[in-house]
Amino acid sequence: MTVRTAELGMTLLLAALSVYLMVKSAELEIGWIQGEGPGGGAWPFWLAAGMLACCAVTLVRWWRGLTPESRNLEAFVGPATAKILGPTVISIAVMLGLTHVIGIYVAILIFLLFYLRFMGRHSWTLTVSMSLIAPVVTFFFFEAALRILLPKGITEPLFYPLYSLIY
């Protein structure tokens, strides 16, 4: 697959997703509700419509060959990219699989330990500090600020003391 073909494929995929989201959003009220404001489907509908408009612009630019990507006939994924892409996809899949069992926060920690140290070849100091900071910041952002509970799996009892701080 060439870079040109990949750009066309992603544009068409995003356009199809935009149409789907517009149809699903229209199942709710997308207009203005007197005394309430915009209906429940308004924001998703108009964001998807904007995305569809961007896809149309991208498609025209692709057709006319106006961008370097639309003229590029080189391979989209070369050997060097494939060498990085494979372990990345596998490590993300493992992280998602572990999320159900050990929770998102521990899964993020393990993923970052692996990815920063072995894929990014960063120092242990940076790796450990970022691997600890990211789940903590994510926890307080979602659980405390947004009040959105994320899956914790078997590690949930470890979070009970934190719940008493934020709830």
Evaluate if residue 167 carries a pLDDT over 80: no
Q: Global pTM?
A: 0.66
Mean pLDDT of the chain: 94
The more confident residue out of 138 and 33 is: 138
Question: pLDDT of 23-82, one tens digit each?
Answer: 999 999 888 888 888 888 999 999 999 999 999 999 999 999 999 999 999 988 888 888
Pair of tokens at residue 120? 């990014």
Amino acid at 87: P
Instruction: Give 51: exposed, middle or buried? Use CB within 10 Å, 0-12, 13-18, 19+.
Output: middle
Query: pLDDT confidence of 137, banded at 50, 70, 90?
Result: very high
- The DSSP call for residue 41 is T
Query: pLDDT confidence of 18, banded at 50, 70, 90?
Result: very high
- φ/ψ of 33, rounded to 5, equals -100, 120
